[in-house]
Structure 1
Amino acid sequence: MKFYKIALLVMLIAFKTTTAQNENIETLPLPEHLQDGTKWEFQDKLSDDFNYTYTPKNKKTNFGNGKWYNFYQSRWDGPGTTYWKYNHVAVDGNDLILKASRWKGKDEAAPKAFKFNKMNKPNGGVSAGCITSNKQVIYPIFIESKSSVANITLASDVWLLSPDATQEIDIMECYGGAGQGNAYFAKSIHISHHSFIRKPFTDYQPRDKGAWYKQNDVEAWGDYCWNNGNRKYVRTAVYWKSPVHFEYFIDGELVRVLYDKALATKVNGKWEYGYPTMTNGKLDVQYGKQKITSFSTKDTYSFEELQKANKVSKVSIIDPYEYQGGKGFTKPLNVIINIESQDWHVKAGRTPSDEDLNNPKKNVMKVDWFRVFKPKG
C-alpha cells in the first residue's frame, strides 16, 4: 500500500507539470537552482494566470486588467508571411489562445497589412495571434511561461524585446509541427538571444548547437503538446541575472547558462563548458555551427567552473561584435507571445497547408500562465 501511494503521488506530480491546472503561480515553487537563499518577490502587475475570459476583438484592445494588448509592439505585423491580426487572440477562462489561419488578402481582418503580399506569396500568407505587455521588464528578473505549442509548421514564441528592437531574449521559439519537411526542427526548442543593429540591419545570436534544446521523449513538440487532444504544456524560463548573464530553464530544470565570455549547456545529462573564438574579427564556425571551444565537462552545473572558462575566453558570448556598445543587455524589454511564419522556413518550403490552418487540432498555441519574479535586495 505504501508503494502504491508513492507511485500515485509521483503520477499526480507528473500530471500537474504537463497538463493545464489552476495552479497558484505565486506560490508554485521556483526552479530548485534558484532556491539558494535568495528572496523572490512576485510581480503581480506582470504575471497572468489567464483564468478569465477575453473574446476576440477586431481592433487593438487592452485585456487582462490592462496587462496586455492584442498586437505587436509597433505597426509591423510579423516576419516572413505572417500577418498578425487583432481577432486571433482570446482567453477562454483557462488559457491564452493564439490562433493561426490562412491570410485572406484584400478580405483580411484588421489591421490592414503593413506590407501586402509578403514574400510574393498571395496564397501563402498566415494570419496569426500576437500579444505584447503594457509594462516592461528589466534585469535582474526571472520570467517563466507554461505553454502548449501549436502542432503546425509555424513558430510558437515567448520572447522579450526592447522598444527599439535592438535587444531580444528568446525564452521559447518552437517550430512544433513535423509536417511539410519540418521534422528536424520540430524536435527542438530554440533558446537564444539577439543583438541587433537596425540600420543597416545586422543580427548576432549564438549559433552553437546548444541553443537547440532536445528532450529524449519528444520527437516533435507539436505532437507532444497536442497529445491526442489532452494537451500537454512545457514550462520555459529565463533568469536575466545581469546584462551579461542569462540562465535558461525547461520544466524547472536549468539547461543552459550564458555568462559574459563563456557558456555551459546540459547535454545528455552532462554539463559542457566552453567559450567562443574569433579569427580576424569574425566568429569561428565549425560544421555549419558557431564553434565553441571545449573547456571542461562536468556531472553538475557549477558557476565557479563557468567563471574559470570565462577567464580563459577573449570573446563575448552575449555580444561579440559590441552592437550594444560593449554594455550587454541593459534596456527594458517588452514581453511578446505569438505565432509566426518565418521567412527562412518559407523559403525552404516549410509552411503550413490550408488543411492544417483550418484544423483546430493544429492551429492553436495555448498559454496556461505567465509569471515574473524579482530577487529582493
Structure 2
Amino acid sequence: MMKFNTAIVFLLFYVVSCSDSNSTDKVEDEEVIETPETPTEEPEEEPEVTWKTIPVPAEAGEGNVWEFQNMSDSFDYEAEATNKGAEFDAKWTDFYHNQWSGPGLTEWKRDHSLVKDGYLQMVASRVPNSNKIHLGCITSKEQVIYPVYIEAYVKIANTTLASDVWLLSSDDTQEIDIVEAYGASYSELAQADQTWYAERIHLSHHMFIREPFQDYQPTDAGSWYKDEVGTLWREDFHRVGVYWRDPFHLEYYINGELVRTTSGAEMIDPNNYADGEGLSKPMDIIINAEDQTWRSDKNITPSDAELANKENNTFKVDWIRIFKPVKAD
C-alpha cells in the first residue's frame, strides 16, 4: 500500500508540474502586438487664386511658360479724378496717347477717370450748354508687342456709350480691340431697342492708312460675339482677353474660353495696308469710354435723363494683366 500510494503521489506531482510548465511557456511565447495610432494628416490648403494667378487660357507655346508683366495693374489704390497720385502716374497717363479729344460728341477730360473702391472708373457727364459728353480716357506709359496676352476684368456701362479696352500704335495705323461694348438695351433719344448690342462684345482689329484715310476691319459675324444664353454684358464683371501671338494671328478669350480666332493675311490685312508686315507695331494700351459717331449720327447717344444716372454711365475695370511667353527653366 505504501508503494502504491507513493507512486500515485509521484504521478500526480509529475502531471501538475508539467501542466504548470506548459502553461508558463505558452504565456512567455505570446507577443503583445500594439496597433500604432494612424496619424491625422492636415488637408493641404488650396493656394489662393488671385488676379495674377488665374491661369492664362491661351497656350504659351512648346517649351514656354507665361511670365507676368509688371505693367499690369490691380487698381487696388486710390487715384482721385483731379490728382491721380504716384501709383497711377507710374503706369498711366490720364488722357489719350496724343492731344486728340475724342470721336464725335466725345470730349475726353482728365478729371473723368479715377480709381476708387478697387476699380478704375470712366465716368460720363454732359458738357454744359452742349450736346457733347465729357468722358474718361487713360493710356499706358509702356507699350506692348507680340507675342503677348492681355486680359481685363471689366463691367460694361449700362449706356449707349462705348466701353473700351484696346491697343493702338503710336502712328494710329494699327489697332486691336480687346473689348468694345455698348451696355444699354434701349436708347431714349433714338426711341430704339438696343438689345442686339447689349448682348454682344465687339472683338476686332483695324488696319489704317491715314492719308487719304482708309480703314479695314473684319466684318464677319464672329466679330460681334454673343454667347448661347444671351448674356447682357453690363450685368456683371467679365474677363475679356486677347492673345496677340504674331502679326497674323489673334485669339480672343471671354471668361477663359476661346471665342474667336482671326488668322492669316486675308483676315488680318487683305488690302496690304501694312506692306506685308501685318499687326507688327508696338502699341499703347488705352482704356476709355466714348460716344462714337456712327451711333450718335443715328441719335443713339445718352439723353440728359440717362446721363443723370451716374452708375449706369460708369465703365469699371477691376484689373488688367499682361503676360509674355518665355522659355521654361
Task: Tell me if TM exceeds 0.5.
Answer: yes
Q: 1:172 Cα deviation (Å)?
A: 0.2
Structure 2 residue 41 is the aligned partner of structure 1 residue 41: no
Q: 1:175 aligns with which of 173, 182, 206?
A: 182
Task: Give the 5 Å matches for 1:1-377.
Answer: 24-31=50-57, 33=59, 38-44=64-70, 46-57=71-82, 63-64=87-88, 66-104=90-128, 123-180=130-187, 181=192, 182-218=194-230, 220-222=232-234, 224=235, 232-261=236-265, 316-377=266-327
Q: 1:354 Cα deviation (Å)?
A: 0.7
Aligned equivalents of 2:172, 2:306: Cα separation in 1:
31
Q: 1:64 Cα deviation (Å)?
A: 2.0
Larger Rg: 2
Instruction: Give the aligned length.
Output: 275
Q: 1:27 Cα deviation (Å)?
A: 1.5
Give the 3 Å change call, closer, same or farther, for CA 196–32 of structure 1 in structure 2. Answer: closer
Q: 1:69 Cα deviation (Å)?
A: 1.3
Offset from partner CA, 1:100-148 (integer Å, 9 cap, x none): 111225xxxxxxxxxxxxxxxxx32111011100000000000000000
Q: 1:178 Cα deviation (Å)?
A: 1.3
Give the 3 Å change call, closer, same or farther, for CA 325–196 of structure 1 in structure 2. Answer: same
Q: 2:4 matched to which residue of 1?
A: none
Equivalent residue letter for 2:54 = L
Q: Quote the RMSD (CA, aligned, Å).
A: 1.9
Q: Is the 8 A contact 1:132 1:335 kept in 2?
A: yes
Aligned equivalents of 1:62, 1:149: Cα separation in 2:
27
TM-score (norm 1): 0.70
Aligned equivalents of 1:347, 1:216: Cα separation in 2:
31
Query: Percent identical across equivalent pairs?
Result: 47
Give the 3 Å change call, closer, same or farther, for CA 372–93 of structure 1 in structure 2. Answer: same
Aligned equivalents of 1:32, 1:331: Cα separation in 2:
21
Please state whether the residue corresponding to 1:53 is helix, strand or coil: coil
Equivalent residue letter for 1:353 = S
Offset from partner CA, 1:233-270 (integer Å, 9 cap, x none): 01110000001111110011001111114xxxxxxxxx
Give the 3 Å change call, closer, same or farther, for CA 62–217 of structure 1 in structure 2. Answer: farther
Query: Which consecutive aligned stretches of 4+ in structure 1 deviate over 4 angstroms post-superposition?
Result: 32-37, 60-63
Please state whether the residue corresponding to 1:210 is helix, strand or coil: helix
Give the 3 Å change call, closer, same or farther, for CA 183–238 of structure 1 in structure 2. Answer: same
Equivalent residue letter for 2:225 = Y
Aligned equivalents of 1:252, 1:190: Cα separation in 2:
17
Please state whether the residue corresponding to 2:64 is helix, strand or coil: coil
Offset from partner CA, 1:268-308 (integer Å, 9 cap, x none): xxxxxxxxxxxxxxxxxxxxxxxxxxxxxxxxxxxxxxxxx
Q: 2:12 matched to which residue of 1?
A: none
Aligned equivalents of 2:304, 2:91: Cα separation in 1:
33
Aligned equivalents of 1:36, 1:124: Cα separation in 2:
53
Aligned equivalents of 1:318, 1:173: Cα separation in 2:
18
TM-score (norm 2): 0.79
**Structure 1 regions of 5+ residues with no counterpart?**
1-21, 106-122, 225-231, 262-315
Q: Is the 8 A contact 1:177 1:221 kept in 2?
A: no
Q: Is the 8 A contact 1:62 1:69 kept in 2?
A: no
Please state whether the residue corresponding to 2:146 is helix, strand or coil: coil
Offset from partner CA, 1:328-367 (integer Å, 9 cap, x none): 0111000000000000101112111111112123110100
Please state whether the residue corresponding to 2:267 is helix, strand or coil: coil
